[in-house]
Amino acid sequence: MRSPGPRKAQSVFDATLGLLTELGYDGLTIEGVAARSGVHKTTIYRWWPSKDALLGAALLDANLLELSVPDTGGIDDDLRSLVEQVLRLLTGKATGATVTAILGAATHRPALASLVTEFFAGRLARERIVFERAIARGELREGTDPGMIMDLLAGAIWLRVLARGETPRAGYVRSIVSLVLDGARP
């Protein structure tokens, strides 16, 4: 291999995500990544021209974007699976700190915000099939908006974990899925 970039990419990515979770986005620098990974600064800049480009590549590599699209044959279990994956993403040892650091920084960094926006759009595009199957089976009303249902369910997890500072108790995922499917009226 002639290029030093890809060969050393893994240690650069590890250093990037490690420093991000330890220091936050503002504390993350190419210099810091160079020091921790042992890869020279100019080499890093040759492959990733900016901090945001490097961060985007590191996130992609980390499979944070991974989503297993369920097909259990029923909308209740399919939704539970999707929501459990959101919960694991936000609370997992390996992913939780990274995701919260990025969401936090994205609120005042446009480049990072568009990365987050793309992530959510890509995820929703892959989730649509779950809703199409459920509508075809007669389990959801015609015209049900997948984005709205995922806003409610993923938003509830988000708000509880990030704003209320709680890890939802067992059964929480099942309860919010039932509430959105059956409604709160008697």
The number of beta carbons lying within 10 Å of the beta carbon of residue 24 is 13
Q: Judged by CB under 8 A, does residue 164 bind its own copies?
A: yes
Q: Judged by CB under 8 A, does residue 179 bind its own copies?
A: yes
Question: Angle 161-185-168 (CA atoms, 0-180°, nearest 5)?
Answer: 15
Sign, CA dihedral 15-19-22-25, equals: negative
Q: Judged by CB under 8 A, does residue 88 bind its own copies?
A: no
**Closer by beta carbon to its own copies, 12 or else 176:** 176
Distant-in-sequence contacts of 66-70, Cβ < 8 A, 24+ apart: 67/123, 67/126, 67/127, 69/126, 69/127, 69/129, 69/130, 70/130
Task: Count interface residues toward its own copies (CB under 8 A).
Answer: 51
Q: Which of 52, 61, 77, 151 binds its own copies (CB under 8 A)?
A: 151
Q: How far is the CB of 116 from its own copies (least distance, A)?
A: 6
Q: Judged by CB under 8 A, does residue 24 bind its own copies?
A: yes
Q: Judged by CB under 8 A, does residue 159 bind its own copies?
A: yes
Whether the CB-CB separation of 16 and 23 falls below 8 Å is answered with no
Q: Judged by CB under 8 A, does residue 126 bind its own copies?
A: no
Q: Judged by CB under 8 A, does residue 64 bind its own copies?
A: no
